[in-house]
Structure 1
């Protein structure tokens, strides 16, 4: 049994007026996904060098196994070029749908377009692509992920509330060109813009990696010894920053507040231990929502362009109670 045709969606949309018609045309541009009992599905992961990525992969694999689907899994090992090649390999293998966690916003556009041309629908997970070059509902089904701008904003708001006298901040950015790095910076920086006493004294990429985060934090702490806050775009860099602070003879949580995003068990425990001040969660357990969205699409539903994940927040008020629930 095949899914509802795009012509049916167009006819239904036309009855809803101009707004519905526009949505129907965009949906009609996408490849069809037949409704079947089982599927061969691709999952193009960006890397597996940190707990967040490992948790995401395990969630996707567990859900595929539960459903009885064949999952073609690849690991790009941090290379956008390899990830494009991985998607092309999935296309050649004739998968029914591709889940793609794009390493960077622009370099993965050719992969998205190649899948569309081959008639294979794509769902983006956790990172988006450049919206001026590819659009949800036209070139891929949807983006499933967190509100990265809001994550940065929530962290800035917590900082202002809990350190009202101001701060000199070192910002450890994620992978250059990736949507979480771009947006976590945007949300945080804009929320602090014009706030008296709050100054970002240095901002540099640590590539979402623990060791690089440590190295960058060491250099920036030497250049800015008066910095009293480190805002890291993920837990790995936050843990690296803690190591850098301790090596410099500073006490994390006392001499310098460390702020993080992701919410892995190690980081939440560090909140309990007083080494991290606060963490915004970025939930990596994508399996259930990813495959549910795929099923909705196969059933002919028009999918919203952004399927949002809801993320928790950890600080000393709740970390001890929540650490067991962290990934």
Structure 2
């Protein structure tokens, strides 16, 4: 089974102008369960079924808000939204429900990479185009989706590892890794990118476990790392929330995060950026969650029968402490 992997490309012209156009995203978690748009179902509205991973992190909350803000009746959409609560079976059920409803377009951010072929085949048979956001899938279905919008997760891991090598190679650093949800695209790719980047250096990954992208998970796994190892120099967390959980565990153990144990994370949400500005994190590679405007443009183009890019890679920055201090006042998420 060949996994869909695409070269890094520039943003599609039709969506580049809108990527950062959203107003501030709320840090409040979205409501769980189904939240069906109240549009009148008129022909002028494009009906969209969207299945979200869940509300496991500040990043996900900002991503959900971006999508809901973009896919409004005022913008020409009738949105049916579901929260899968990080369960693939919930997403598959929601997608099948959207197929039964006969929506114009289905979009989703998959919990994991594999196991989607049957439902993607069903959507294809129903003639409903699918758009992936944030995460990729592994599929054998030809033309299973029209576009995939999101960051390059391998690149995020690579940039994290390259910075670690630049800063700490030659010091024999022992690294622990807080992985994202097992089987998810960002967890697989960020791990790969980081490992590739530190290969040939004297940085050594001595332990690696999943914290499921949650703050509580990151804290619990970090507590276990600290119990099992007395020589940890650096934490590589696949997202800010797990890194923030690690901060709590390190402080509870009587050490200073960012000094006694360095921390590199991915995402760039406000809480993470604040931790970086405060010196508790050391480096963040951004993963931009504001995908709503891109998704809206791709859906409109698809329904209009216009060509769309198969892979759209969002633009992400990277931050050290000074860059975080400069960015925080205007941070949108």
Match of 1:156 among 146, 158, 161: 161
Corresponding residue of 2:277: 272
Mind listing any 5+ residue stretches in structure 2 that lack a counterpart?
Answer: 1-42
SS at match of 1:172: strand
Match of 1:40 among 36, 47, 60: 47
Offset of residue 326 of structure 1: 4.4
Q: Tell whether 2:102 aligns with 1:94.
A: yes
The 1:260/1:326 distance shift into structure 2, 3 A limit, reads farther
Residue deviations 1:144-179, cap 9 Å, x none?
000000000000111111223341100010001000
Corresponding residue of 1:18: none
Corresponding residue of 1:114: 122
Match of 1:128 among 136, 139, 147: 136
SS at match of 2:86: coil
5 Å matches for 1:10-25? none
Residue deviations 1:213-234, cap 9 Å, x none?
1111111122111011000001
In 2, distance between residues paired with 1:225 and 1:109?
45
Corresponding residue of 1:147: 152
Offset of residue 303 of structure 1: 2.2
The 1:321/1:305 distance shift into structure 2, 3 A limit, reads same
Larger-Rg structure = 1
Offset of residue 68 of structure 1: 3.2
Q: Tell whether 2:68 aligns with 1:61.
A: yes
5 Å matches for 1:137-286? 138-166=143-171, 167-195=173-201, 197-286=202-291
Corresponding residue of 2:309: 304
Mind listing any 5+ residue stretches in structure 1 that lack a counterpart?
Answer: 1-35
Corresponding residue of 1:313: 318
Offset of residue 94 of structure 1: 1.3
Offset of residue 194 of structure 1: 1.9
Corresponding residue of 1:10: none
Corresponding residue of 1:78: 86
The 1:159/1:68 distance shift into structure 2, 3 A limit, reads same
TM-score (norm 2): 0.84
Residue deviations 1:205-254, cap 9 Å, x none?
11111111111111112211101100000111000100110111110011
Kept in 2, the 8 Å contact 1:80–1:108? The answer is no
Residue deviations 1:248-300, cap 9 Å, x none?
11100110001110110000010100000011111111110011112222333
Kept in 2, the 8 Å contact 1:41–1:96? The answer is yes
CA RMSD, Structure 1 to Structure 2 (Å): 1.3
Kept in 1, the 8 Å contact 2:104–2:303? The answer is no
How many residues are matched? 288
Kept in 2, the 8 Å contact 1:76–1:82? The answer is yes
Greater length-normalized contact order (CA 8 Å, ≥ 6 residues apart): 2
Higher helix share: 1
In 2, distance between residues paired with 1:37 and 1:190?
49
Q: Tell whether 2:58 aligns with 1:51.
A: yes
In 2, distance between residues paired with 1:87 and 1:175?
21
In 1, distance between residues paired with 2:75 and 2:183?
34
SS at match of 1:49: coil
TM-score (norm 1): 0.85
* Structure 1 runs of 4+ with >4 Å offset: none
